[in-house]
Every structure is written in structure tokens, then in C-alpha cells.
Amino acid sequence: MPNETESPPSSITLTTIDGVQLVGEVMTAHSSQPIRGAVVLAHPHPLYGGDRLNPVIDALFRTLPKHGFHTLRFDFRGSGASFGEHDHGDAERLDIAAGIDFLAQMDDRGVWVCGYSFGSVVGLNVVEPRVNGWIAVAPPLAALPNPARVLASGDPRQKLLLIAEHDQFSTPSQIAQTTGEWINSQQETITGVDHFLLGRAQWVADHVAQWLKNAEQS
């Protein structure tokens, strides 16, 4: 049961610039904390069961508001109750942009983009001016046909890459090699787990929250 500093999530509908309606939820920053900014969350691959209720996304969604961040999660087009069709990460960039539009009305200090797996790669390709920086959890960068074309790679804004120690799709060493020339990028390893982060969702959420607080103060 929420306490007096916590508001329950509000259901929302996002409309993308190409007219697709997406189902989502927003949680406002808890009143016990100073408002530090806003975060849009992007979930794993919808063709493999990913949606906004994924355990890692859920942990982030419920943790970040406790640290002062308005937080939004949504189902990508063609996923869950959202309309539209899956577009292999291309048009999905417009879905994240719609989330940024929504959060920018709540807070004018910019929006952090935080994605897990497929969602992290989509997020790293949204480089519009209102983005403060990116958090990529278990990004499958080594599996991409041309990872050098990730748009955020040459951007000076901050990037945190959290890589599972035993990731089946992109190991820490592969990510380090792939992102060696990225600008303002920090890589950390999540020990003892593979790509699916079983048992470490809350650790990821707590770690991201602390990193964001430090980034906002820098």
C-alpha cells in the first residue's frame, strides 16, 4: 500500500508523431525527495516476450521515483495493448520520442533514456536535444550488424552501459571492444548473471538510481 509520499502509477496513452497509440504508465517522483529529473524506460524485445512489465523494467519503474525521478514506461508499438506493428527497432525510436514529449511537459530539465536489451539499443538511437544521456542495460551491441552506427556513440552526453558478466549476446569484453571509441561512455559489469539478470533486477534499479543522482549533480 502506498505511503503518504508515494502516488500510484497513472495509466496514460502516448501518441507518436506517426499516429500510433501506445499504452503506458507514469509514476511521479515521491514527495519525500527533491525532483531530480525524468526517465523514460524501454523494454526488451517484444517478439521474445518483452513488454513494459518485464521484471527489470518494473524494478526501475518502482525504484526511480523514490529517488526523485518522474518515470514512464510503455509498450512498444505492436506489443502488449499498444497499437501498430513491430518495426525491428526503427520506428520504435518514435515511441521513445513520444515518451520524451510526455515527460518534458512534467519537467523541463531534460529526460534520461534507460533501456534494457532491445530497448537499450533503440534508446541509444534517440539523440534528440531533450535527452540528458543514456543508460543501456545488457545492450546486445555485439549482435548488431554495424554497432558503429549507434547514434549515441559519438554524442558527448553521458552513457552508462551495464553488462551482464555471462551475457549470451554481448559479453563485457565484446562490448568494450565495440564501444572503445565511444565518447563519454562508462561500462560496468553485473557479476554472476547472464543476459536475463535473474535475481539482480533490484540491484540494477538501485544502481541506476544512484548513478543518475550522481550524474544530475555533476
Domain map of the chain by residue range? 10-217
- Specify the CATH number for 10-217; select among 2.30.30.760, 3.60.150.10, 3.40.50.1820, 3.40.50.2000: 3.40.50.1820
Measured CA to CA, the distance from residue 67 to residue 89 in angstroms comes to 30
pLDDT in tens, the chain (218 residues): 445 567 799 999 999 999 999 999 999 999 988 999 999 999 999 999 999 999 999 999 999 999 999 999 999 999 999 999 999 999 999 999 999 999 999 999 999 999 999 999 999 999 999 999 999 999 999 988 776 689 999 999 999 999 999 999 999 999 999 999 999 999 999 999 999 999 999 999 999 999 999 998 87
Sign of CA dihedral 41, 100, 8, 206: positive
DSSP per-residue letters across 79-141: STT--S---TTSTHHHHHHHHHHHHHTT-SS-EEEEEETHHHHHHHT---TTEEEEEEES--G
Partner residues linked to 113 by β-bridges:
40, 134
Give dist(CA 197, CA 3) in Å, integer: 29
